[in-house]
Amino acid sequence: MKKLRTALLAKATRSRALLAVAAISALGAQAQADEVVNIYSYREPGLIQEILDAFTAETGIKTNVVFGRNGIIERMTAEGRNSPADLLIVNDSGLLIQAKDAGVTQPLESKVVDETVDARFRDPEHHWVGFTQRARIVYASKERVAQDAITYEELAEPKWKGKVCSRSGQHTYNIALIASMIAHHGEEKAEAWLSGVRDNLATKPAGGDREGARNVHAGLCDVAIGNTYYMAGMMRNEEYKPVAESIKILFPNAADRGTHVNISGGALAAHAPNRDNAVKLIEFFLSKTSQESYVGKSGEYPIVVGAESSDLVKSWGELKADTLPIAEIAALRRKASELVDKVRFDAGPQ
């Protein structure tokens, strides 16, 4: 009997020891998991890698990036609760809205975000926040366009007949611009404006913003609608530099309501396994140093007051941004898309 009690005691001791080891191992695995942020990104890694490296150096938290030009939100939807994603980084507000509507984001509670980022660059329900601004501007020929100021409304005037180039009206950048026109003027006037711009097009909408710039350089049109950061990229590219140097940048409506801006930004993944670390990284993106690193590489504008754009971007002049909240513009995106189809914008001049 004594031998039996001794054997049972020994067995119980071994069991407790094994449980203790298992518990320690589990805690160790959890601690290791907590020292990482998994990022799903529509933005090219090169634009944010410097920030991620600095974040790891400061916090010890490693970053893993999955990059894709398309389909990331669909991937997160398919993965559901098993998704390893902690943070979604996008290059356009339309994707932020799409992600929220798809249910792959969650509210972010951060005093840093609320105090650092103007409310117009944040989701009212805290699902996303802007990281950088980009302006939708006019590329104008230095040779053929004498004026140094312009408005979006003016692009529909007869004097620009056959002189305007644009990418597809259904592209997310133009949808946001058209939505802003609806917000400012109402749907009826926005439709009339869009019809006027359509009839002033030099050709059917095609290509991207770089192609618009090339068309201006080649004399196919005198002005093109495009984002600022494409000009920054072209100035750094020997092939495109002559194109960029033949163009002057006009900030529409700088004398009144301001130029339409869009944002890049981030959102906390709905099932983030490393939620707290993801919040830390979002806040890190909003530091002055990170902001200036980001816009220095992307050719965009900072979100945070006090952070500065690159010298190249500053050389174009001061950006007076439209104060419309991004969420207000986003709410009109569907109507904007319907207007594009209604006036047959992508069919070109009527």
Residue 89 is encoded by which pair of tokens? 């980084």
Tell whether residue 301 is among the known ligand binding residues. Answer: no
Read off the DSSP letter of residue 157.
Answer: S
Query: Radius of gyration of the chain from Cα atoms?
Result: 25
Q: Which helix (H) or strand (E) holds 132?
A: strand 129-141
Helix axes 228-235, 209-218, angle to 10 degrees: 70
Distance separating alpha carbons of residues 37 and 89, to the nearest angstrom: 12
Tell whether residue 229 is among the known ligand binding residues. Answer: yes
Residue 117 is encoded by which pair of tokens? 């980022």
**By the 8 A CB rule, do 307 and 292 touch?**
yes
The 10 Å CB-count burial string (b at 16+, else e) for 285-303 is bbbeebbbbbbbbbbbbbb
**Distance (Å) of CA 167 to CA 43, 164, 172, 227, 307:** 21, 10, 10, 11, 31
Three-class secondary structure of residue 300 per DSSP:
coil
Which positions make up the binding site?
Answer: 229-230
Which positions make up the binding site for Fe cation?
Answer: 229-230
